[in-house]
Amino acid sequence: MRFIHSGSTRRRAAFAALATSAALVLSACGGGAASEGDATEGGSGTDGEQTITFIPKQLNNPYTDVVLGGGEDGAAEAGFASSEVVGPLDASASSQVSFINAETQRGTNVIVIAANDPDAVGPALEEARTAGAKIVAFDSDTNPDYRDLFVSQVNAKDVALIQLELISEQIGGEGEIAILSATANATNQNEWIKYMEEELASNPDYADIELVAKVYGDDDDTKSFQEAQGLLQAYPDLKGIISPTTVGIAATARYMSTSEYKGEVALTGLGLPNEMRPFVKDGTVTEFALWDPAQLGYVAAFAGKALADGDITGETGDTFEAGELGDREIGEDGIVLVGPPTQFNADNIDDYDF
Amino acid sequence: MSDPTGARTILPAGDGPSRTPAKGARMAAPGSTRPGTERRPGPGRRSPGSTTTQAAPTGRTGAARLLLGRDAVMIYLLLVVVFYACIVVPRFASPVTVGFLLLDVIPTLLIALPMTLVIISGEIDLSVASIAGLTSALMGVLWQAGTPIALVLVICVLAGLVAGAFNGVLIAYLGLPSLAVTIGTLALFRGLALVVIGDNAVANFPPGLTAFFTSKLGGTGIPTVMVGVVVLIVAFAVVLHFTPFGRGLFALGYSKEAATFVGIDVAQSKFLLYLATGTVSALAGIYWTLRYSSARSDNASGLELAVIAAVLLGGVSIFGGKGSIPGVLAGVLLIGTINYALKLDRVSEVVLIIVTGSLLILSVVAPTIPTALRRARHARRVRSAPLS
Amino acid sequence: MSLDSRSAAPVQPAAHPKPSPLGSFLKLRELPVILALVVLVAVTAAVNPLFLSQQGIKDLLLNATILMILAVGQTLVIITRNIDLSVGSILGLVAFGTGSVFVAAPELPIILVFLIGIAFGAVLGAVNGLLITIAKVPALVITLGTLYIFRGINNAWAGGTQYFAGERPDAFGNLSVDTVLGFPVITLIAVVVVAVVAVYMLGTRPGRDLYAIGSEPEAAKLFGIPVARRVLLAFVVNGALAGLAGILYASRFNSVGATTGTGLELDVVAAAVVGGVAIFGGSGTVVGAAIGALLLTTITSALTALRVDKFWQQAIVGILILAAVVIDRLAGARAARKLRIAEARNV
């Protein structure tokens, strides 16, 4: 039994060591904090030294890269001293929080975020605002309580309607359709789907179109692929699929182009021209839509600058200049619209490179 | 027949011959597919400082063992990283860091506590993150349905307890391998979370409660919930290191047969451990839900591997029988600190992944290098000598 | 004096001269999973005939292909009482590597790309195997570490870059479209892999050695089996197969990038376990594991085809795994009892 005794002495000592060192570190860090803290306040307050950080839903996503490219350009033109991109590698609800925390601590002046979950980022954004940061949501909104502005692609309703128009045209105005979305909690996706459902129910032009299923591919290539496959099998009479997400539409197109459904079932939605080009050329997809994602980041950067300078407060009716895109007015609920979506088909797809 | 594993050296010497074959055979049945007794390579275990009878003759004095032990090294490493970050990373040295860092590590920290005990006893639990997810889903649905929040919390903790008991019965009483069982329940519990809440997310928890979960103790930056976490840490540390039950776990992980002979109720001990992981995972799920004020089925997914990585980094042997709470705390805080320091420095998460993986491998490979070298030299000598 | 059956090492000498009881025993282990598969397919097809349409069968086979190959490799490793959690990361690296190769050298013969990918996978597998066998440290820890490291390298290498199907030759993509006798080409590749490995495992000395090592490593060593070399072999083959799976992934799916294959490892282990491979080594067959993989992927498709709430899917997979473990336990207990009786007589 001797070993047990020596063991527990050792443990006791280890505890003591851990406790002491923790206390030491805390006090050391705490000591430094007072002066550091003051420096923070002073440093970030001055004009011309403003910083902006973009937090996308997830890094390493082609669509996000285009958005962020526009954001960086916008930040440079708007006159930010530095612009950074940080973000999680997975698009889970909670993964953005510690990035927001770190930016809060860095004293970043403007945080531009595409929320993975409208509420999960809330408390962290509150804290960031308390510390003086301006919050601009883009691409996917947070709960309106937690941000100053939301830079939206286009009017959510317009996005929904254009996709319905496209699908209706492609299936001849009647038949079963399904939606393949991103994650079940994505704010923007759900809003579009809601408008689509309302329009289907109310517009007599769409009386013969039936929405039979909504499935979620989680913006994961493999999962979206299999969801598409499952849809086509479970609903043999399916005439068309709407996928309002770039990952989903590309994965669905890939499946359809390699199966008997190619050309038989219509597919439309929101896609990146570079990703969709082969599927438009081989006849899997006739026409789809998207706004210019780079403009989204670009406008968000200018909106951030205007907020940080105190030119606007995010009130409805405020206007700010968004570089070469001209003036933008803040609409209801603090939403800024970027521009109309473009429709891509075999005739014009080669004119675009994003 | 001589036993090359060395596992049995812990047995009372006189016990061997007195064992009847029948008894031996009876003993074998539950143990025959267990990791604790089976997966143990002989020589690797005899590292200095392990709680074995062989620790004594290694020649290190008590003080040296204290200062050079595995726990101590982890703590030094943690200190070095913290001080380095204080100097190099702008604004790291601040109470704000303490707050954000701790808020981030609390789920890992919580689950690491029972996980340490489970792994020391020679088992594993991969279902912890799924239990947390299930709890979160339950919380959302119950709260949505108008259940009083206190009742919601009680039900959630009980759900964790039941989930843990389910694991426990399969592993402790039916003698099924824990790795396989908990891979199964990992899928099952996460699946049930999806069944419970589906695609929905529930966010409107009482603001007072969610605010409490992110509140700090005065100006110290330490999150208020840390008080509860510290209580749990102390409780688990006391149980593991200062009670017969805890010591029994080491014996259990080292040799199940030995543990039985010393009079430990193996099945009951293991069952209790899984109750603990279930319950604490439920607490972590509740924390997760309220901190992020979002109840979803995919909350905490993937956390199991992070927890196990932190525990192993903290010096717990995957074969069981070795490890300590201080070491694990240091392991969890080390990963947490590196993580937050990198974020504050805006270094990509990619680096964090690579660092975590490398640390994990180093932590198990480094201690074996001297042994491996010795063995290689020995093997050369043996090979050069003529064999019969 | 043996404390329990594990140190008795009777499996060794007994296994070689008496293959027939062993053979029937193994058949028993695969029986439940085959039955489950048949029932599942029959029920689903009865409700939704489209499930077994030509396209339906093709999709079922295609879905199973990649997991099947991974499960075969994983089985080799598990049989030696090890585990490889890094397969998802290896697959990701090789898949992205394949995409890069085609972009860098579009004219490269496809067969050469296959060889490069498999070799790349084998190298990654060898990293695991060498760390484990040289340092004699647990596979679970090492491969958990390389899971992170390989994924990190993949992220660092790929960044935001993704390569799309359009950037790969049509002939390559067509491997997962074209069929021979109703079987997609990549599925045939998987079937060949299963067959070759199965024959190797049951018909050759090194293959049998893997079982011996998994049953009782110490006895295997005493028996003169080069344990370290065989375990290394298992990891290298597993890596190579994960590499092959990565190439096929690039053939079938649209994009390969930084996150390709994330989280696959547990599915793979689950497939092996469901297929009757004992998690602590020494028993199970690659055919069983392959059928396990087919069952798991078929469930996903079946639930969708049945329009069952997809939320149940994961829970059902969990129950299946648990059922497989229990069945394995019951079969194992019976075998152990037989073994002990034989052993008692020998003493």
Q: What pLDDT, on the 0 to 100 scale, is given for residue A28?
A: 46
Model confidence over B173-223: pLDDT tens digits?
998 999 889 989 999 999 999 999 987 889 889 988 988 888 888 777 899
How many Cα neighbours within 13 Å face the side chain of C204? 10
Lowest model confidence (mean pLDDT) among A62-66, A242-246, A253-257: A62-66
pLDDT surpassing 70 at residue A101: yes
Phi and psi torsions of A140, nearest 5°: -135, 125
Contact between chains at B372 and C135 (C-beta distance less than 8 A): yes
C141 touches chain B (CB under 8 A): yes
Determine the pLDDT at residue B151: 96
Residue B7's pLDDT band, with cuts at 50, 70 and 90, is very low
In 3D space, the residue among B355, B305, B320 whose CA is nearest the CA of residue C266 turns out to be: B305
| Residue C14 in this model has a pLDDT that exceeds 80 | no
C344 is a domain residue: no
Q: Do A221 and C253 count as a contact with CB atoms less than 8 A apart?
A: yes
Q: What is the arithmetic mean of pLDDT over C262-291?
A: 89
pLDDT at C285 over 70: yes
Report residue A14's pLDDT band, with 50, 70 and 90 as the boundaries: low
Q: Which residue has the tokens 């570190």?
A: A25
Cβ distance B312 to C318 less than 8 Å, yes or no, reads no
Alpha carbons B280 and A113: distance in angstroms, whole number: 33
- Residue C297: strand, helix, or coil: helix
Pair (A168, A265) in one structural domain: yes
Range among B92-96, B356-360, C145-149 rated most confident: C145-149
Q: Do A168 and A78 share a structural domain? A: no
- How high is the pLDDT of residue C161? 82
Q: What pLDDT sits at residue B64?
A: 65
Closest residue by Cα to residue A92 from B32, B306, B359, C14: B306
**pLDDT band at C216; cut points 50, 70, 90:** confident
Q: Which residue has the higher pLDDT, A1 or A220?
A: A220
Segment A306-354, tens digit of pLDDT: 999 999 988 888 889 888 888 888 888 888 888 788 899 999 898 888 8
Q: pLDDT digit string (tens) for A22-58?
A: 554 544 444 433 333 333 333 344 455 899 999 998 8
CA atoms within 13 A on the CB side of B7: 25
Q: Is C100 on the interface with A (CB under 8 A)?
A: no
Option in B93, B288, B324 nearest A14 (CB)? B324
Q: Which pLDDT band, with edges at 50, 70 and 90, does B349 fall under? A: confident
> pLDDT at residue B35 above 60?
no
pLDDT reading at B4 higher than 80: no
Most confident range (mean pLDDT) of A11-20, A27-36, B120-129 is B120-129
pLDDT of residue A91: 77
Percentage above 90 pLDDT, chain A: 43
Average pLDDT over chain B reads: 81
> Residue C328 — pLDDT band, cuts 50, 70, 90?
confident
The residues in C 240-279 lying below 8 A from A, measured between CB atoms, are: 252-255, 257-260, 262
* Ramachandran class of A227: left when φ > 0, alpha when ψ lies in -120 to 50, beta otherwise: alpha
pLDDT of residue A29: 46
- C-alpha separations of A290 from A159, B246, C118, C165 in Å: 9, 61, 39, 21
Task: Give yes or no: residues A92 and A197 share one domain.
Answer: no
> Is A76 part of any domain?
yes
Q: Is residue A148 part of a domain?
A: yes
Residue A10 has pLDDT above 80, yes or no: no
**Which residues, numbered 4 to 63 in chain B, qualify as contacts with chain C under a Cβ-Cβ cut-off of 8 Å?**
4-5, 8, 16-17, 19, 21, 24-25, 27-29, 31-35, 37-39, 41-44
**Domain containing A306: what range?**
48-153+293-338
CA proximity to C82, closest of C217, C275, C200: C217
Residue C153: which domain range?
26-335
Question: Which residues are CB-contacts of C274 (< 8 A; sequence separation ≥ 6)?
Answer: C33, C292, C295, C296, C320, C321, C324
% residues pLDDT > 90 (chain B): 47
Q: What integer pLDDT is reported at residue B184 of this predicted model?
A: 92
**pLDDT of the residue at A201:** 92
Q: From the CB of residue A9, how many other CB atoms can be counted at a distance below 10 Å?
A: 13
Q: Domain boundary residue among A266, A290, A314?
A: A290
CB contact under 8 A, C3 and B257: yes
Please, are residues B336 and B315 in contact by the beta-carbon 8 Å criterion? no
In a domain, residue A20? The reply is: no
pLDDT score, position B18: 35
Q: What integer pLDDT is reported at residue B5 of this predicted model?
A: 36
Can you tell me the mean pLDDT for C334-344?
A: 70
Report yes or no on C213 lying in a domain.
Answer: yes
The answer on pLDDT for C345 being more than 90 is: no
Q: Which residue has the higher pLDDT, B304 or B115?
A: B115
Q: Which of B364-373, C116-125, C218-227, C246-255 is predicted with the least confidence, judged by mean pLDDT?
A: B364-373
Question: Given CB atoms, is C154 within the 8 Å cutoff of chain A?
Answer: no
* Count of structural domains within chain C: 1
Say if A258 is an interface residue toward chain C (CB within 8 Å). yes
> Cβ-count burial of B108 within 10 angstroms (0-12 exposed, 13-18 middle, 19+ buried)?
buried
pLDDT-based confidence at residue B78 (cuts at 50, 70, 90): very high
Domain co-membership, A141 together with A172: no
Clarify whether residues A283 and A313 are in a common domain: no
CATH code at C151? Answer: 1.10.3470
Residue C96 clears pLDDT 50, i.e. is over it:
yes
Q: List all residues of chain B from 216 to 245 with a beta carbon under 8 Å from chain C.
A: none
Nearest to B33 among C1, C317, C332 (CB): C332
Of residues C31 and B6, the one with the higher pLDDT is: C31
Tokens of residue A126, six digits: 């509150």
Question: C189-203, pLDDT tens digit by residue?
Answer: 999 999 999 999 988
What is the reported pLDDT for B198? Answer: 83
Average pLDDT, chain C: 86
Complete DSSP assignment for A101-150 = HHHHHHT-SEEEE--SSTTTTHHHHHHHHHTT-EEEEESS---GGG-SEE
- A250 close to C (CB below 8 A): yes
Q: What is the pLDDT of residue A48?
A: 55
Question: Residue A22 is encoded by which pair of tokens?
Answer: 């923790």
* A93/A183 same-domain check: no
In this model, does residue B145 exceed pLDDT 70?
yes
Q: Say which of B52, B241, B344 has its CB closest to residue A11.
A: B241
**A320 lies in a domain?**
yes
pLDDT value of position B259:
83
Mean pLDDT of C75-90: 95
Any alpha helices (H) in A242-292, and if so which ranges?
Answer: 246-257, 273-281
Using one digit for the tens of pLDDT, what is the confidence trace for A110-163?
999 999 888 889 889 998 999 999 999 988 889 888 999 999 877 888 889 999
Interface of A with B in 45-84 (CB under 8 A): 59, 84
Query: Is this structure's pTM higher than 0.95?
Result: no
The beta-carbon neighbor of C51 closest among A59, A62, A233 is A233
For residue range B79-116, list pLDDT tens digits in order: 999 999 999 888 888 888 888 999 999 999 999 999 99
pLDDT band at B15 (very low <50, low <70, confident <90, very high): very low
Q: Which of C260, C177, C166 is nearest to A256 (CA)?
A: C177
pLDDT at A92 (0 to 100): 80
Is pLDDT of A279 > 60?
Answer: yes
Alpha-carbon distances of B207 from A40, A115, B149, rounded to whole Å: 29, 20, 12
Residue B20 has pLDDT above 60, yes or no: no
Whether domain B100-365 has CATH 3.30.1380: the reply is no
Residue C137 has pLDDT above 60, yes or no: yes
C29 CB contacts (<8 Å, ≥6 apart)?
C276, C283, C284, C285, C288, C327, C328, C331
Which chains are adjacent to chain A, needing at least 3 Cβ pairs under 8 Å?
B, C
Lowest mean pLDDT among A12-16, A107-111, A116-120: A12-16
As a whole number, mean pLDDT of residues B121-127 equals 93
Using pLDDT thresholds of 50, 70 and 90, give the confidence band for residue B289: very high
Q: What is the ipTM of this complex?
A: 0.81
Using 50, 70 and 90 to split pLDDT, how confident is the model at C7?
Answer: very low
Instruction: Note the pLDDT of residue B385.
Output: 61
Strands A327-329 and A319-321: antiparallel
Q: What is the DSSP letter of A313?
A: -
Report pLDDT for C248: 95
Flag the least confident range among B122-126, B312-316, C18-22, C216-220: C18-22
Give the integer Cα–Cα distance in Å for C298 and C290.
12
Query: Are β-strands C163-164 and C255-256 bridged in parallel, bridged antiparallel, or unpaired?
Result: antiparallel
Residue C324 sits at φ, ψ, to 5 deg, of -60, -40
Please tell me the predicted confidence (pLDDT) of residue C97. Answer: 96
- Per-residue confidence (pLDDT) for residue A234, from 0 to 100: 86
Tell me which residue of C335, C332, C324 sits closest to C71, measured CA to CA.
C324
Does residue C168 fall inside a structural domain?
A: yes
Based on the structure, what is the number of domains in chain A? Answer: 2
